[in-house]
Chain A
Amino acid sequence: MSKHDSNKRKNYKSIIQDTISKNASRRKTKNNLITVLLFCFVVIAIIPLGSILIEIIKNGVGALSFEFLFEAPGSIGSGGGGIGPAIQGTLLVVAFATLIGAPVGVLAGVYLSEYSDSSRTFAYVLRLFNDVLTGIPSIVIGITGYITLVLTLGSFSILAGAFVLSIIMIPIIARVSEETLKLVPNNLREAAYGLGLPKWKVIYHVVIKGSKSGILTGIVLAISRITGETAPLIMTILGTSLFFSGFNSPVDALPLRIWRLASQPYPSAHEQGWGAALLLILIVLSLSIILRMFAQQRRITFKSTT
């Protein structure tokens, strides 16, 4: 035992001597070189973002006009008309999806954070399925929407689109809600119980209301994710050049319109595609900035509660 120890000590000693004797400046250069390399990685990752923003603004601003924003598309290749139905469709589909997805997601998050002690296995399965649901490719979820709603209702519709997008939203919202609800300090819960409140009132008035900004973060995150979602919409709302005309007919959406425009061979369609992309990215990036603001607000509230 002691022999082993002394061996070890000797070993350390030689390592230390080795390290010191090594050329310090060479080690520093290596460190600096790698720092520069990693910085290059960051630049490589950021170049596409910069290029995308520049190209979208350069090519898209020309397309923007009153007509472009509010009118239906003209005949293919004419370059006239606008993307009014697509904007309207995106707003409607996302709104309906949020109506379904947000309550379900938040409540599932409440279960995971507040009730999971009563049945660990169920909570484990729920968490696993949540992760699985997050990982399912959106186009596969689109197929599900097609089979369950489009085929049974007999037509492409806004409902199928909203249903599909809500499936994408739920796990995101549930995950974020669970994490923020768990951050509420336990003594707040105990204080509320001490006042004689029943569990649901404690959860509603103290836990949920106390982490409002965190829950909103999750919802906005999910909205920004589904706003750009294209693949599942192909097989649920189909896309059309008409404005919303009822719950049993196809609607249009911005990402879908971009796809159709980009696939056409006409330069005028491409310009409109860039215009639509500019609009889409403005929506999504402003949502991200709102998220940032929520996150900062959250940090402040946590500081004051703990």
Chain B
Amino acid sequence: MPLKESKYSHADLVQKLDLRTKKKSFFGDKFFKGLVIGASLYTLLMVALVLFSLVDGSLPIFVKEGFNFVIGTNWNAVEGRESFGALPYIVGTLVSSAIAMAIAVPISIGIAIFINEMIPKKMSIVLAFVVELLAAVPSIVYGLWALFVFRFWIRDFVEEPLHNSLGHVIPSFAKAPFGLDVFTAGIVLAIMIIPIITAVSREVIKAIPHSQKEAAYALGATRWEMVKAAILPPAKTGLMGASFLGLGRAIGETMLITLVIGNAIGLAAIPTSLFSQSQTLSSIIANEFNEAANDLHLSALIGLGLVLFIITIFINIMAIFIISRVSKSYSNLRE
């Protein structure tokens, strides 16, 4: 059967079809690209929004207190006698995070080395999964556990022995332990950030060229000697970046701290010993935000948020730059 005669020639048809798809795809491409760029801009906008809202909300307190807000130690929300200073909470934040880092960094790096280099692959997959599960536990659950279980362990097995044996020699152990203090908070924080530091450290260690490890083994190194000679030196920067990421998380952590740090206020929040009650920037925001007595009090809390934001941004950006330098230093190894 002969083909039906069409009013268009074959070439015409092809051209028409071609044009149509071209036009359509042109629009589709533009639309899709717009969508994708829109989503990216939205992300940028969110960072700007966070910064803007913090600055806007904390303006009244900075107008009233000026720089004293950052270095003041009073915290009084009573009408007519308002006075707000952030210093105690900044100190509380730094001390609790420092305790957490002192415990978490060596343990996490040790775990990362153990999982990546010391044991067979099958075991390492299981262990890595267990450590990942630790990261999945919400911080409020850590807080609940720390408040009802862990603090008694710490008080009975660590703090009291330390206090009884060394309390009159070392002032850090002088205060009678209660369990809800900056020391407990630091340790629970450490437990929380171990999985984070471990995960990033494992990535850093994994990226070291195999030839380095093989060279160490070829020289007759034991496993630990290989780690010491071929892994730790090149991974140093990366491990530091991983620790900074953990530090950023520790400083911003809230719920767990509100439950275990004892929630002292004002000058009392500056810890005089390891076993004294304290307060962090984030925990006081969580504790007082909904009960803010007046607008100035609320503004002071938002101001604390701004301080917290600046500290964490600084630490995180440092971590990002350190980690981004790592791949460069590895490429030197490959040459």
Contact = CB atoms under 8 A, between A and B. Distances in A.
A139 B305 contact: yes
A300 interface: no
Nearest to A174: B43
B35 interface: yes
Given A170-B46, A280-B141, A143 B305 contact: yes
B223 interface: yes
B168 interface: no
Contacts, number: 267
Contacts of A229: 138
A30 interface: yes
A125 interface: yes
Contact of A284 (B29, B37, B127, B138): B138
Interface string B305-331: 100110011011101100000000000
Interface in A39-59: 39, 41-42, 44-46, 48-49, 51-52, 55-56, 59
A51 B151 CA distance: 13
B225 interface: yes
Interface string B42-82: 11101101100110110000000000000000000000000
A236 B142 CA distance: 22
A122 interface: yes
Interface string B79-114: 000000000000000000000000000111011011
A135 B110 CA distance: 24
Contacts of B127: 42
B191 interface: yes
A133 interface: yes
A273 B110 contact: no
B302 interface: yes
Given A27-B222, A137-B282, A200-B29, A259 B313 contact: no
Contact count band on A: 35 or more
Contacts of B178: none
A137 B312 contact: yes
Contacts of B139: 228, 230
Interface in A192-241: 196-201, 203-204, 224, 227-231, 234-235, 238
Given A35-B223, A104-B42, A231-B282, 12 more contacts: A31-B222, A48-B150, A137-B252, A137-B282, A140-B305, A144-B49, A147-B302, A148-B53, A201-B28, A227-B138, A231-B286, A235-B290
14 contacts: A20-B220, A34-B224, A48-B142, A106-B39, A132-B47, A136-B47, A137-B253, A139-B286, A147-B53, A147-B57, A148-B53, A231-B255, A231-B282, A258-B140
